[in-house]
Structure 1
Amino acid sequence: MDSVRSQISRRSRWSGTGVLTGILLLLSIPPAMPSAADSVPKRGSAYMGMGVLAHDGADATAVPAESVPRVTQTEGVDVSSHQLNVSWSTLWNSGVKWAYTKATEGTSYTNPYFTQQYNGSYDKGMIRGAYHFATPDGSGGAAQADYFVDHGGGWSKDGKTLPGVLDIEWNPYGDSCYGKSKSAMVSWIRDFLNRYKTRTGRDAVIYTATSWWTECTGNYAGFGATNPLWIARYASAVGTLPSGWSTYTMWQYTSSGPTVGDHDRFNGATDRLKALATG
Protein backbone atom coordinates (compact mmCIF):
# COMPACT_ATOMS: atom_id res chain seq x y z
CA MET A 1 0.00 0.00 0.00
CA ASP A 2 2.93 2.39 0.68
CA SER A 3 4.18 1.88 -2.88
CA VAL A 4 0.74 2.77 -4.24
CA ARG A 5 0.73 6.01 -2.25
CA SER A 6 4.25 6.79 -3.52
CA GLN A 7 3.16 6.39 -7.12
CA ILE A 8 0.10 8.53 -6.50
CA SER A 9 2.25 11.25 -4.97
CA ARG A 10 4.62 11.34 -7.94
CA ARG A 11 1.79 11.39 -10.47
CA SER A 12 -0.14 14.09 -8.65
CA ARG A 13 2.76 16.48 -9.15
CA TRP A 14 2.21 16.44 -12.93
CA SER A 15 -1.51 16.12 -13.55
CA GLY A 16 -4.98 16.33 -12.08
CA THR A 17 -5.61 12.89 -13.60
CA GLY A 18 -3.04 11.46 -11.20
CA VAL A 19 -4.90 12.90 -8.23
CA LEU A 20 -8.19 11.42 -9.40
CA THR A 21 -6.56 8.04 -10.00
CA GLY A 22 -5.08 8.13 -6.50
CA ILE A 23 -8.44 8.86 -4.89
CA LEU A 24 -10.06 5.99 -6.74
CA LEU A 25 -7.28 3.61 -5.68
CA LEU A 26 -7.59 4.59 -2.03
CA LEU A 27 -11.36 4.20 -2.10
CA SER A 28 -10.96 0.68 -3.47
CA ILE A 29 -8.96 -0.45 -0.41
CA PRO A 30 -11.38 -2.09 2.09
CA PRO A 31 -11.42 -0.65 5.63
CA ALA A 32 -9.99 -2.69 8.47
CA MET A 33 -12.67 -4.84 10.12
CA PRO A 34 -13.11 -4.51 13.90
CA SER A 35 -11.76 -7.36 15.96
CA ALA A 36 -14.27 -9.73 17.57
CA ALA A 37 -12.52 -8.98 20.85
CA ASP A 38 -13.65 -5.34 20.61
CA SER A 39 -17.25 -6.35 21.46
CA VAL A 40 -16.41 -8.75 24.31
CA PRO A 41 -16.77 -7.15 27.76
CA LYS A 42 -13.97 -7.24 30.28
CA ARG A 43 -13.85 -10.29 32.55
CA GLY A 44 -15.47 -9.51 35.86
CA SER A 45 -17.85 -6.93 34.39
CA ALA A 46 -20.85 -9.27 34.20
CA TYR A 47 -23.91 -8.61 36.31
CA MET A 48 -27.25 -10.19 37.08
CA GLY A 49 -29.52 -10.03 34.04
CA MET A 50 -26.78 -8.91 31.65
CA GLY A 51 -28.14 -11.03 28.82
CA VAL A 52 -31.88 -10.81 29.46
CA LEU A 53 -32.69 -7.87 27.17
CA ALA A 54 -30.56 -9.20 24.33
CA HIS A 55 -31.98 -12.73 24.46
CA ASP A 56 -35.48 -12.40 25.93
CA GLY A 57 -36.31 -8.76 25.31
CA ALA A 58 -38.79 -6.83 27.45
CA ASP A 59 -42.33 -5.55 27.38
CA ALA A 60 -42.67 -1.85 26.67
CA THR A 61 -43.57 -1.10 30.29
CA ALA A 62 -41.64 -3.90 32.01
CA VAL A 63 -43.58 -3.22 35.20
CA PRO A 64 -45.37 -5.95 37.15
CA ALA A 65 -49.12 -6.00 36.86
CA GLU A 66 -50.68 -4.08 39.72
CA SER A 67 -53.34 -6.78 40.01
CA VAL A 68 -50.75 -8.42 42.27
CA PRO A 69 -51.15 -6.65 45.63
CA ARG A 70 -47.94 -5.03 46.84
CA VAL A 71 -48.62 -6.38 50.33
CA THR A 72 -47.70 -9.82 49.03
CA GLN A 73 -44.87 -8.68 46.75
CA THR A 74 -41.92 -7.10 48.56
CA GLU A 75 -39.73 -4.77 46.51
CA GLY A 76 -36.00 -5.38 46.20
CA VAL A 77 -32.96 -4.52 44.07
CA ASP A 78 -29.77 -6.18 42.89
CA VAL A 79 -26.52 -4.28 42.42
CA SER A 80 -22.95 -4.75 41.21
CA SER A 81 -19.91 -2.56 40.65
CA HIS A 82 -21.80 -0.84 37.81
CA GLN A 83 -23.88 1.02 40.42
CA LEU A 84 -20.78 2.27 42.30
CA ASN A 85 -21.74 3.61 45.75
CA VAL A 86 -25.48 3.12 46.15
CA SER A 87 -27.88 5.59 47.78
CA TRP A 88 -29.51 3.13 50.15
CA SER A 89 -31.49 5.86 51.92
CA THR A 90 -33.19 6.79 48.65
CA LEU A 91 -34.05 3.18 47.91
CA TRP A 92 -35.30 2.52 51.45
CA ASN A 93 -37.54 5.59 51.35
CA SER A 94 -38.98 4.41 48.02
CA GLY A 95 -40.10 1.10 49.54
CA VAL A 96 -37.19 -1.22 48.78
CA LYS A 97 -36.81 -3.70 51.64
CA TRP A 98 -34.21 -6.18 50.40
CA ALA A 99 -31.10 -6.21 48.24
CA TYR A 100 -28.57 -8.55 46.69
CA THR A 101 -25.01 -7.48 45.91
CA LYS A 102 -22.63 -9.13 43.47
CA ALA A 103 -19.74 -10.53 45.49
CA THR A 104 -17.73 -12.61 43.04
CA GLU A 105 -17.31 -13.95 39.52
CA GLY A 106 -15.39 -17.09 38.63
CA THR A 107 -12.44 -17.58 40.98
CA SER A 108 -10.58 -14.31 40.47
CA TYR A 109 -13.00 -11.36 40.60
CA THR A 110 -14.41 -9.59 43.65
CA ASN A 111 -16.68 -6.56 43.51
CA PRO A 112 -14.66 -3.49 44.64
CA TYR A 113 -17.87 -1.84 45.89
CA PHE A 114 -19.05 -4.89 47.81
CA THR A 115 -18.53 -3.47 51.31
CA GLN A 116 -20.46 -0.23 50.67
CA GLN A 117 -23.25 -2.07 48.91
CA TYR A 118 -23.56 -5.14 51.13
CA ASN A 119 -23.12 -3.40 54.48
CA GLY A 120 -24.89 -0.22 53.40
CA SER A 121 -28.16 -2.02 52.67
CA TYR A 122 -27.89 -3.91 55.96
CA ASP A 123 -27.21 -0.73 57.96
CA LYS A 124 -30.26 0.93 56.42
CA GLY A 125 -32.47 -1.92 57.66
CA MET A 126 -32.79 -4.02 54.53
CA ILE A 127 -32.52 -7.78 54.43
CA ARG A 128 -29.53 -8.42 52.20
CA GLY A 129 -27.65 -11.18 50.44
CA ALA A 130 -24.79 -11.79 48.00
CA TYR A 131 -24.67 -13.38 44.56
CA HIS A 132 -22.03 -15.11 42.44
CA PHE A 133 -21.88 -14.70 38.66
CA ALA A 134 -21.05 -18.17 37.39
CA THR A 135 -18.50 -18.78 34.63
CA PRO A 136 -18.61 -22.56 34.17
CA ASP A 137 -15.97 -22.50 31.44
CA GLY A 138 -13.31 -21.18 33.82
CA SER A 139 -13.28 -23.57 36.79
CA GLY A 140 -15.39 -26.18 38.55
CA GLY A 141 -18.62 -25.54 40.38
CA ALA A 142 -17.23 -26.51 43.78
CA ALA A 143 -14.20 -24.24 43.34
CA GLN A 144 -16.41 -21.28 42.48
CA ALA A 145 -18.68 -21.98 45.45
CA ASP A 146 -15.64 -21.94 47.74
CA TYR A 147 -14.44 -18.67 46.24
CA PHE A 148 -17.90 -17.16 46.71
CA VAL A 149 -18.19 -18.19 50.35
CA ASP A 150 -14.66 -17.00 51.08
CA HIS A 151 -15.33 -13.56 49.58
CA GLY A 152 -18.66 -12.42 50.97
CA GLY A 153 -21.09 -15.14 49.97
CA GLY A 154 -21.45 -16.78 53.37
CA TRP A 155 -24.58 -16.86 55.50
CA SER A 156 -25.39 -16.14 59.13
CA LYS A 157 -28.62 -16.71 61.03
CA ASP A 158 -29.08 -13.08 62.04
CA GLY A 159 -32.48 -12.67 60.41
CA LYS A 160 -31.15 -10.10 57.94
CA THR A 161 -28.89 -12.19 55.71
CA LEU A 162 -30.39 -14.11 52.78
CA PRO A 163 -28.87 -17.30 51.36
CA GLY A 164 -26.37 -16.87 48.55
CA VAL A 165 -27.43 -16.82 44.90
CA LEU A 166 -25.96 -18.69 41.96
CA ASP A 167 -26.42 -16.37 38.97
CA ILE A 168 -26.37 -18.76 36.02
CA GLU A 169 -27.27 -17.20 32.67
CA TRP A 170 -25.92 -16.32 29.23
CA ASN A 171 -22.18 -16.12 28.89
CA PRO A 172 -21.30 -12.48 28.12
CA TYR A 173 -17.80 -13.49 26.99
CA GLY A 174 -18.59 -16.21 24.46
CA ASP A 175 -20.80 -19.23 23.84
CA SER A 176 -24.14 -18.89 25.65
CA CYS A 177 -23.76 -22.25 27.40
CA TYR A 178 -20.04 -21.80 28.16
CA GLY A 179 -19.15 -24.61 25.75
CA LYS A 180 -20.82 -27.23 27.93
CA SER A 181 -23.29 -29.94 27.03
CA LYS A 182 -26.62 -29.96 28.85
CA SER A 183 -25.59 -32.80 31.13
CA ALA A 184 -22.23 -31.20 31.88
CA MET A 185 -23.94 -27.93 32.78
CA VAL A 186 -26.31 -29.70 35.17
CA SER A 187 -23.32 -31.42 36.80
CA TRP A 188 -21.51 -28.10 37.18
CA ILE A 189 -24.53 -26.48 38.81
CA ARG A 190 -24.98 -29.45 41.13
CA ASP A 191 -21.33 -29.26 42.21
CA PHE A 192 -21.73 -25.58 43.06
CA LEU A 193 -24.96 -26.10 45.00
CA ASN A 194 -23.66 -29.08 46.94
CA ARG A 195 -20.49 -27.28 48.00
CA TYR A 196 -22.40 -24.15 48.98
CA LYS A 197 -24.75 -26.24 51.14
CA THR A 198 -21.79 -28.01 52.76
CA ARG A 199 -20.06 -24.71 53.53
CA THR A 200 -23.08 -22.73 54.79
CA GLY A 201 -25.83 -25.16 55.68
CA ARG A 202 -28.19 -23.37 53.28
CA ASP A 203 -29.52 -24.21 49.84
CA ALA A 204 -28.47 -21.48 47.43
CA VAL A 205 -31.02 -19.58 45.37
CA ILE A 206 -30.79 -20.13 41.59
CA TYR A 207 -31.14 -17.02 39.42
CA THR A 208 -31.83 -17.76 35.76
CA ALA A 209 -34.12 -17.18 32.78
CA THR A 210 -36.41 -19.90 31.44
CA SER A 211 -35.05 -19.66 27.89
CA TRP A 212 -31.43 -20.00 29.03
CA TRP A 213 -32.29 -22.85 31.39
CA THR A 214 -34.07 -24.69 28.59
CA GLU A 215 -31.25 -24.17 26.11
CA CYS A 216 -28.33 -24.97 28.38
CA THR A 217 -29.66 -27.56 30.86
CA GLY A 218 -32.32 -29.18 28.69
CA ASN A 219 -34.91 -27.73 31.11
CA TYR A 220 -33.62 -29.92 33.93
CA ALA A 221 -36.17 -30.34 36.74
CA GLY A 222 -34.01 -31.70 39.54
CA PHE A 223 -33.34 -28.57 41.63
CA GLY A 224 -36.87 -27.31 42.16
CA ALA A 225 -37.47 -29.26 45.36
CA THR A 226 -34.50 -27.78 47.22
CA ASN A 227 -33.35 -24.50 45.68
CA PRO A 228 -35.49 -21.34 45.57
CA LEU A 229 -35.94 -19.82 42.11
CA TRP A 230 -35.17 -16.23 41.17
CA ILE A 231 -36.62 -15.80 37.70
CA ALA A 232 -35.53 -13.12 35.21
CA ARG A 233 -38.30 -11.79 32.98
CA TYR A 234 -38.72 -8.12 32.05
CA ALA A 235 -42.47 -8.13 31.58
CA SER A 236 -45.81 -7.69 33.33
CA ALA A 237 -45.85 -11.39 34.25
CA VAL A 238 -43.19 -14.01 34.92
CA GLY A 239 -44.43 -16.32 32.17
CA THR A 240 -43.44 -19.98 32.00
CA LEU A 241 -41.07 -21.13 34.75
CA PRO A 242 -38.24 -23.63 34.30
CA SER A 243 -39.13 -27.27 34.94
CA GLY A 244 -39.11 -28.35 38.57
CA TRP A 245 -40.51 -25.10 39.96
CA SER A 246 -44.22 -24.49 40.36
CA THR A 247 -43.65 -21.00 41.72
CA TYR A 248 -40.89 -18.42 42.02
CA THR A 249 -39.35 -16.93 45.15
CA MET A 250 -37.99 -13.77 43.53
CA TRP A 251 -38.56 -12.08 40.20
CA GLN A 252 -36.28 -9.60 38.44
CA TYR A 253 -38.87 -7.69 36.45
CA THR A 254 -36.96 -4.70 35.03
CA SER A 255 -33.50 -3.31 34.34
CA SER A 256 -34.71 0.29 34.19
CA GLY A 257 -36.19 0.95 37.62
CA PRO A 258 -35.71 4.10 39.76
CA THR A 259 -32.40 4.86 41.51
CA VAL A 260 -31.02 1.39 40.68
CA GLY A 261 -31.98 -0.14 37.35
CA ASP A 262 -32.51 -3.76 38.39
CA HIS A 263 -35.66 -4.06 40.47
CA ASP A 264 -37.15 -7.25 41.85
CA ARG A 265 -40.14 -8.60 43.71
CA PHE A 266 -40.04 -11.16 46.51
CA ASN A 267 -43.07 -13.41 46.20
CA GLY A 268 -44.43 -12.75 49.68
CA ALA A 269 -44.72 -10.22 52.45
CA THR A 270 -41.79 -9.18 54.64
CA ASP A 271 -42.49 -11.88 57.24
CA ARG A 272 -41.86 -14.54 54.58
CA LEU A 273 -38.72 -12.70 53.47
CA LYS A 274 -37.45 -12.85 57.04
CA ALA A 275 -38.30 -16.54 57.16
CA LEU A 276 -36.12 -17.14 54.11
CA ALA A 277 -33.31 -15.22 55.81
CA THR A 278 -33.47 -17.28 59.00
CA GLY A 279 -33.88 -20.58 57.18
Structure 2
Amino acid sequence: MRIEIVTGMSGAGKSSALKILEDLEYFCVDNLPLELIPKFIEILNFVETSKSKVAIGLDIRGGINLKKLNGVLEEIKKNGFQSSILFLEASDEVLIRRYKETRRVHPLAKRNGRIEDGIFKEREQLTAIKEISNYVIDTSSMQFKELNRSIQAIVVEGDHVSNMFVTILSFGYKYGTPRDADIIMDARFLPNPYYIEELREQTGQDVEVKKYVLENPVSKDFLARIKELLFFLLPNYRSEGKHQLVVGIGCTGGKHRSVALTEEIYASLRQDKQYDIYIEHRDIEK
Protein backbone atom coordinates (compact mmCIF):
# COMPACT_ATOMS: atom_id res chain seq x y z
CA MET A 1 0.00 0.00 0.00
CA ARG A 2 1.16 3.52 -0.77
CA ILE A 3 0.34 6.43 1.54
CA GLU A 4 0.70 9.99 0.24
CA ILE A 5 0.94 12.69 2.90
CA VAL A 6 -0.42 15.96 1.49
CA THR A 7 0.46 19.06 3.47
CA GLY A 8 1.71 22.62 3.07
CA MET A 9 0.60 26.20 3.44
CA SER A 10 -3.06 26.94 4.10
CA GLY A 11 -4.54 28.26 0.85
CA ALA A 12 -1.85 26.67 -1.34
CA GLY A 13 -4.21 24.06 -2.80
CA LYS A 14 -4.24 20.99 -0.54
CA SER A 15 -7.98 20.44 -1.07
CA SER A 16 -7.51 20.61 -4.85
CA ALA A 17 -4.60 18.17 -4.61
CA LEU A 18 -6.75 15.70 -2.68
CA LYS A 19 -9.52 15.97 -5.29
CA ILE A 20 -6.98 15.16 -8.00
CA LEU A 21 -5.69 12.17 -6.02
CA GLU A 22 -9.27 10.99 -5.46
CA ASP A 23 -9.75 11.01 -9.25
CA LEU A 24 -6.60 8.88 -9.45
CA GLU A 25 -8.33 6.28 -7.24
CA TYR A 26 -6.72 7.26 -3.95
CA PHE A 27 -8.75 6.84 -0.78
CA CYS A 28 -8.51 10.37 0.65
CA VAL A 29 -8.85 11.53 4.24
CA ASP A 30 -8.53 15.27 4.94
CA ASN A 31 -7.39 17.08 8.09
CA LEU A 32 -6.78 13.91 10.12
CA PRO A 33 -5.01 14.73 13.42
CA LEU A 34 -1.52 13.26 13.51
CA GLU A 35 -2.30 11.37 16.73
CA LEU A 36 -5.02 9.39 14.92
CA ILE A 37 -2.94 8.33 11.93
CA PRO A 38 -1.27 5.30 13.65
CA LYS A 39 -4.74 3.99 14.55
CA PHE A 40 -5.92 4.69 10.99
CA ILE A 41 -2.94 2.71 9.62
CA GLU A 42 -3.73 -0.12 12.02
CA ILE A 43 -7.30 -0.23 10.71
CA LEU A 44 -6.03 -0.32 7.11
CA ASN A 45 -4.14 -3.49 7.98
CA PHE A 46 -7.32 -5.27 9.00
CA VAL A 47 -9.91 -3.88 6.62
CA GLU A 48 -10.26 -5.63 3.29
CA THR A 49 -10.33 -2.92 0.66
CA SER A 50 -9.62 -2.58 -3.02
CA LYS A 51 -7.88 0.69 -2.26
CA SER A 52 -4.12 0.19 -2.46
CA LYS A 53 -3.43 3.93 -2.44
CA VAL A 54 -4.27 6.30 0.39
CA ALA A 55 -3.82 10.08 0.66
CA ILE A 56 -3.92 11.87 4.01
CA GLY A 57 -4.33 15.63 4.14
CA LEU A 58 -2.56 17.34 7.04
CA ASP A 59 -2.61 21.02 7.89
CA ILE A 60 -1.71 23.36 10.68
CA ARG A 61 -5.12 22.96 12.34
CA GLY A 62 -4.23 19.36 13.17
CA GLY A 63 -1.18 20.43 15.17
CA ILE A 64 1.32 19.17 12.60
CA ASN A 65 5.00 19.33 13.60
CA LEU A 66 8.19 17.56 12.56
CA LYS A 67 8.55 15.33 15.62
CA LYS A 68 5.00 13.98 15.37
CA LEU A 69 5.26 13.55 11.59
CA ASN A 70 8.50 11.57 11.91
CA GLY A 71 6.69 9.25 14.33
CA VAL A 72 3.90 8.76 11.80
CA LEU A 73 6.38 8.02 9.00
CA GLU A 74 8.06 5.39 11.22
CA GLU A 75 4.65 3.82 11.89
CA ILE A 76 3.90 3.68 8.17
CA LYS A 77 7.27 2.05 7.48
CA LYS A 78 6.83 -0.43 10.36
CA ASN A 79 3.55 -1.59 8.80
CA GLY A 80 5.28 -2.28 5.48
CA PHE A 81 3.68 0.62 3.60
CA GLN A 82 5.40 3.04 1.24
CA SER A 83 5.01 6.76 1.82
CA SER A 84 5.97 10.15 0.44
CA ILE A 85 5.24 13.75 1.40
CA LEU A 86 3.77 16.23 -1.06
CA PHE A 87 4.12 19.83 0.13
CA LEU A 88 1.99 22.59 -1.44
CA GLU A 89 3.56 26.04 -1.41
CA ALA A 90 2.61 29.53 -2.63
CA SER A 91 3.97 33.05 -2.25
CA ASP A 92 2.71 35.31 0.55
CA GLU A 93 1.20 37.69 -1.99
CA VAL A 94 -0.83 34.92 -3.65
CA LEU A 95 -1.96 33.43 -0.32
CA ILE A 96 -3.15 36.82 0.90
CA ARG A 97 -5.09 37.37 -2.34
CA ARG A 98 -6.72 33.93 -2.12
CA TYR A 99 -7.79 34.52 1.48
CA LYS A 100 -9.27 37.91 0.62
CA GLU A 101 -11.15 36.47 -2.35
CA THR A 102 -12.69 33.68 -0.26
CA ARG A 103 -13.10 35.86 2.87
CA ARG A 104 -11.72 33.02 4.96
CA VAL A 105 -9.82 33.55 8.21
CA HIS A 106 -6.31 32.15 8.38
CA PRO A 107 -6.17 29.40 11.05
CA LEU A 108 -3.20 31.03 12.82
CA ALA A 109 -4.41 34.62 12.62
CA LYS A 110 -5.69 35.92 15.92
CA ARG A 111 -9.28 37.10 16.15
CA ASN A 112 -9.47 40.21 13.99
CA GLY A 113 -5.78 39.65 13.23
CA ARG A 114 -4.00 40.17 9.94
CA ILE A 115 -3.71 37.42 7.35
CA GLU A 116 0.00 38.26 6.95
CA ASP A 117 0.65 37.39 10.60
CA GLY A 118 -0.98 33.98 10.25
CA ILE A 119 0.95 33.20 7.07
CA PHE A 120 4.24 34.20 8.72
CA LYS A 121 3.62 31.93 11.74
CA GLU A 122 2.53 29.01 9.57
CA ARG A 123 5.52 29.30 7.25
CA GLU A 124 7.82 29.35 10.27
CA GLN A 125 6.21 26.22 11.76
CA LEU A 126 6.23 24.27 8.48
CA THR A 127 9.79 25.04 7.35
CA ALA A 128 11.26 21.83 8.78
CA ILE A 129 8.50 19.70 7.22
CA LYS A 130 9.00 21.34 3.83
CA GLU A 131 12.70 20.44 4.00
CA ILE A 132 11.99 16.70 4.41
CA SER A 133 9.21 16.59 1.81
CA ASN A 134 9.72 14.38 -1.24
CA TYR A 135 7.95 16.80 -3.55
CA VAL A 136 7.30 20.54 -3.29
CA ILE A 137 4.87 22.20 -5.70
CA ASP A 138 4.61 25.98 -5.82
CA THR A 139 1.04 26.76 -6.92
CA SER A 140 1.49 30.56 -7.03
CA SER A 141 1.03 30.79 -10.80
CA MET A 142 -0.65 27.43 -11.40
CA GLN A 143 -4.08 26.79 -12.80
CA PHE A 144 -5.91 23.64 -11.73
CA LYS A 145 -4.95 21.80 -14.93
CA GLU A 146 -1.24 22.48 -14.27
CA LEU A 147 -1.52 21.25 -10.68
CA ASN A 148 -3.34 18.18 -12.00
CA ARG A 149 -0.53 17.50 -14.47
CA SER A 150 2.17 17.89 -11.82
CA ILE A 151 0.47 15.60 -9.32
CA GLN A 152 -0.24 12.98 -11.98
CA ALA A 153 3.44 13.02 -12.90
CA ILE A 154 4.36 12.40 -9.26
CA VAL A 155 1.92 9.63 -8.42
CA VAL A 156 1.87 7.88 -11.80
CA GLU A 157 5.58 7.98 -12.59
CA GLY A 158 6.72 7.65 -8.98
CA ASP A 159 10.47 7.45 -8.59
CA HIS A 160 10.99 8.72 -12.13
CA VAL A 161 9.73 12.18 -11.20
CA SER A 162 12.52 14.69 -10.72
CA ASN A 163 10.95 17.11 -8.22
CA MET A 164 11.64 19.92 -10.72
CA PHE A 165 9.07 20.87 -13.33
CA VAL A 166 10.22 22.89 -16.34
CA THR A 167 7.76 24.40 -18.82
CA ILE A 168 9.00 25.67 -22.19
CA LEU A 169 6.39 28.22 -23.27
CA SER A 170 6.03 29.96 -26.63
CA PHE A 171 4.16 33.27 -26.71
CA GLY A 172 3.51 36.37 -28.79
CA TYR A 173 4.65 39.77 -27.52
CA LYS A 174 1.59 41.37 -29.12
CA TYR A 175 -0.51 39.49 -26.52
CA GLY A 176 1.71 40.40 -23.57
CA THR A 177 4.56 38.61 -21.81
CA PRO A 178 3.66 35.61 -19.60
CA ARG A 179 3.44 36.78 -15.98
CA ASP A 180 4.73 33.50 -14.57
CA ALA A 181 7.85 33.26 -16.76
CA ASP A 182 11.17 33.05 -14.90
CA ILE A 183 13.29 33.44 -18.04
CA ILE A 184 12.26 35.14 -21.30
CA MET A 185 14.09 34.85 -24.63
CA ASP A 186 13.19 37.25 -27.46
CA ALA A 187 13.24 35.69 -30.95
CA ARG A 188 11.93 38.73 -32.83
CA PHE A 189 15.33 39.39 -34.41
CA LEU A 190 15.07 36.19 -36.50
CA PRO A 191 13.62 36.18 -40.06
CA ASN A 192 9.82 36.04 -39.84
CA PRO A 193 7.94 33.28 -41.78
CA TYR A 194 4.83 35.48 -41.60
CA TYR A 195 6.13 37.47 -44.56
CA ILE A 196 6.44 34.32 -46.70
CA GLU A 197 2.98 33.89 -48.22
CA GLU A 198 3.00 30.08 -48.34
CA LEU A 199 4.14 29.91 -44.67
CA ARG A 200 1.87 32.59 -43.21
CA GLU A 201 -1.05 30.33 -42.29
CA GLN A 202 1.19 27.54 -41.01
CA THR A 203 2.75 27.35 -37.53
CA GLY A 204 6.11 26.49 -36.05
CA GLN A 205 4.89 22.91 -35.68
CA ASP A 206 4.77 22.50 -39.47
CA VAL A 207 7.84 21.09 -41.21
CA GLU A 208 8.21 23.94 -43.72
CA VAL A 209 8.16 26.62 -41.01
CA LYS A 210 10.52 24.64 -38.77
CA LYS A 211 12.94 24.29 -41.64
CA TYR A 212 12.74 28.01 -42.48
CA VAL A 213 13.38 29.05 -38.87
CA LEU A 214 15.81 26.43 -37.63
CA GLU A 215 18.09 26.19 -40.66
CA ASN A 216 18.96 29.86 -40.47
CA PRO A 217 22.60 30.13 -39.20
CA VAL A 218 21.64 32.82 -36.66
CA SER A 219 18.84 30.59 -35.34
CA LYS A 220 21.25 27.68 -34.96
CA ASP A 221 23.63 29.86 -32.94
CA PHE A 222 20.76 31.27 -30.85
CA LEU A 223 19.43 27.78 -30.08
CA ALA A 224 22.84 26.49 -29.10
CA ARG A 225 23.31 29.40 -26.68
CA ILE A 226 19.84 28.92 -25.12
CA LYS A 227 20.44 25.20 -24.60
CA GLU A 228 23.86 25.83 -23.10
CA LEU A 229 22.38 28.40 -20.71
CA LEU A 230 19.51 26.13 -19.63
CA PHE A 231 21.73 23.10 -19.07
CA PHE A 232 23.86 25.34 -16.86
CA LEU A 233 20.95 26.93 -14.98
CA LEU A 234 18.71 23.93 -14.27
CA PRO A 235 20.95 22.05 -11.81
CA ASN A 236 21.86 25.30 -10.08
CA TYR A 237 18.24 26.38 -9.73
CA ARG A 238 17.35 22.98 -8.30
CA SER A 239 20.25 23.01 -5.84
CA GLU A 240 18.87 26.30 -4.50
CA GLY A 241 15.48 24.68 -3.88
CA LYS A 242 13.58 25.89 -6.95
CA HIS A 243 11.00 23.30 -8.00
CA GLN A 244 9.40 25.03 -10.97
CA LEU A 245 10.80 26.95 -13.90
CA VAL A 246 8.93 28.58 -16.78
CA VAL A 247 11.05 29.50 -19.81
CA GLY A 248 9.28 31.83 -22.25
CA ILE A 249 10.32 32.02 -25.89
CA GLY A 250 8.64 34.98 -27.58
CA CYS A 251 8.16 36.30 -31.09
CA THR A 252 5.70 38.86 -32.45
CA GLY A 253 2.59 36.69 -32.76
CA GLY A 254 3.59 33.49 -30.96
CA LYS A 255 2.81 31.35 -33.98
CA HIS A 256 5.98 30.76 -36.03
CA ARG A 257 9.48 31.50 -34.69
CA SER A 258 8.82 31.04 -30.97
CA VAL A 259 6.88 27.81 -31.60
CA ALA A 260 9.64 26.29 -33.76
CA LEU A 261 12.32 27.20 -31.23
CA THR A 262 10.24 25.98 -28.29
CA GLU A 263 9.65 22.61 -29.98
CA GLU A 264 13.39 22.20 -30.55
CA ILE A 265 14.37 23.20 -26.99
CA TYR A 266 11.73 20.87 -25.56
CA ALA A 267 13.01 17.96 -27.65
CA SER A 268 16.55 18.52 -26.35
CA LEU A 269 15.71 19.04 -22.68
CA ARG A 270 13.34 16.08 -22.34
CA GLN A 271 16.21 13.71 -23.07
CA ASP A 272 17.59 14.62 -19.65
CA LYS A 273 15.58 12.44 -17.25
CA GLN A 274 16.60 14.56 -14.24
CA TYR A 275 13.76 16.99 -14.95
CA ASP A 276 10.10 16.86 -15.92
CA ILE A 277 9.82 18.92 -19.08
CA TYR A 278 6.53 20.27 -20.44
CA ILE A 279 5.72 22.33 -23.50
CA GLU A 280 2.96 24.89 -24.07
CA HIS A 281 2.13 27.16 -27.00
CA ARG A 282 0.11 29.99 -25.46
CA ASP A 283 -0.81 31.99 -28.55
CA ILE A 284 -0.52 29.54 -31.44
CA GLU A 285 -4.29 29.59 -32.15
CA LYS A 286 -4.69 33.38 -31.97
Tell me which structure has the larger Cα radius of gyration.
1
Q: If each structure's helix is expressed as a fraction of its own residues, which one has the higher value?
A: 2
User: TM-score normalised to the size of structure 2?
Assistant: 0.31
